[in-house]
Amino acid sequence: MEPDMARGALEGIDARKAAPSELAQRIIQTTSKGYRGSAILMLEDGTVMYGRSCGASGTATGEVCFNTSLEGYFEVLTDPSYAGQIVTMTYPQIGNYGIDPADVQSAYPGDGDRGADTPALRGMVVHDMCSTPSNWRSAISMPDYLAREGIVAIEGVDTRALVRHLRDHGAQKGIISTEVFNLAELSRMLDEAPSLVGQNLVQTVSCADVHRYGAADLPERHAFASSAAAADARFRVTVYDCGIKRGILEGLVRAGCELTVVPWDTPAEDVLAQHPDGVFLSNGPGDPDAVDKTYTQVQKLIGQVPLFGICLGHQMISLACGAEMEKLKFGHRGGNQPVMNLLSRRVEITAQNHGFGLVFPTLGALIPELSGGIAEHPADGDLRFWVERGIAPVVQNERFGRIRLTHVNLNDGTAEGIQLLDHPAFSVQYHPEAAPGPTDAHYLFTAFARLMAGEPDYLNIDIARDRLAGWVFASE
DSSP state of 269: H
Provide the 10 A C-beta neighbour count for residue 350.
25
Q: What percent of the chain has pLDDT over 70?
A: 93
Nearest to 438 by CA among 318, 322, 379, 351: 351
Which of 75-84, 104-113, 341-350, 410-419 is predicted with the least confidence, judged by mean pLDDT? 104-113
Quick one: pLDDT band at residue 7, thresholds 50, 70, 90?
very low
Q: Report the amino acid identity of residue 268.
A: A
Q: How far apart are the first and last CA of the chain?
A: 76
Stronger pLDDT, 232 or 150, i.e. the higher one: 150
Bridge partner residues of 212 (DSSP): 260
Quick one: pLDDT band at residue 3, thresholds 50, 70, 90?
very low
- Mark whether 311 is an active-site residue: yes
Is there a contact between 271 and 304 (Cβ–Cβ < 8 Å)? no
pLDDT of residue 461: 86
- Mark whether 321 is an active-site residue: no
Q: Which of 207, 311, 321, 423 is catalytic?
A: 311
Quick one: pLDDT band at residue 391, thresholds 50, 70, 90?
very high
Quick one: pLDDT band at residue 427, thresholds 50, 70, 90?
very high
98/100 Cα distance (integer angstroms): 7
Quick one: pLDDT band at residue 17, thresholds 50, 70, 90?
low
Judged against a pLDDT cut of 50, whether residue 128 lies above it is answered with yes
Judged against a pLDDT cut of 90, whether residue 16 lies above it is answered with no
Q: Which of 75, 155, 250, 433 is catalytic?
A: 433
10/13 Cα distance (integer angstroms): 5
At 36-58, the pLDDT tens digits run 899 999 999 999 999 999 999 99
Quick one: average pLDDT of 344-358? 95
pLDDT of residue 11: 54
At 256-288, the pLDDT tens digits run 999 999 999 999 999 999 999 999 999 999 999
Stronger pLDDT, 388 or 115, i.e. the higher one: 388
Judged against a pLDDT cut of 50, whether residue 396 lies above it is answered with yes
Mean of per-residue pLDDT scores for the chain: 92
Bridge partner residues of 85 (DSSP): 63
- Mark whether 442 is an active-site residue: no
pLDDT of residue 468: 65
465/363 Cα distance (integer angstroms): 33
Q: Which of 377, 423, 431, 442 is catalytic?
A: 431
Judged against a pLDDT cut of 50, whether residue 447 lies above it is answered with yes
Provide the 10 A C-beta neighbour count for residue 13.
12
Which of 8-17, 58-67, 147-156, 306-315 is predicted with the least confidence, judged by mean pLDDT? 8-17
pLDDT of residue 10: 43
DSSP per position, 361-397: GGG-EE-GGGTTT--S--TT--THHHHHHT---EEEE
At 298-348, the pLDDT tens digits run 999 999 999 999 999 999 999 999 999 999 999 999 999 999 999 999 999
DSSP per position, 124-152: EE-SEE-SS---TT--B-HHHHHHHHT-E
pLDDT of residue 383: 98
pTM, entire model: 0.92
Stronger pLDDT, 31 or 335, i.e. the higher one: 335
| Cα–Cα separations (whole angstroms), residue 271 to 110, 204, 268, 415 | 23, 21, 5, 29
Q: Is the peptide bond before 20 cis (omega within 30 degrees of 0)?
A: no
153/40 Cα distance (integer angstroms): 10
Quick one: pLDDT band at residue 6, thresholds 50, 70, 90?
very low
pLDDT of residue 347: 94
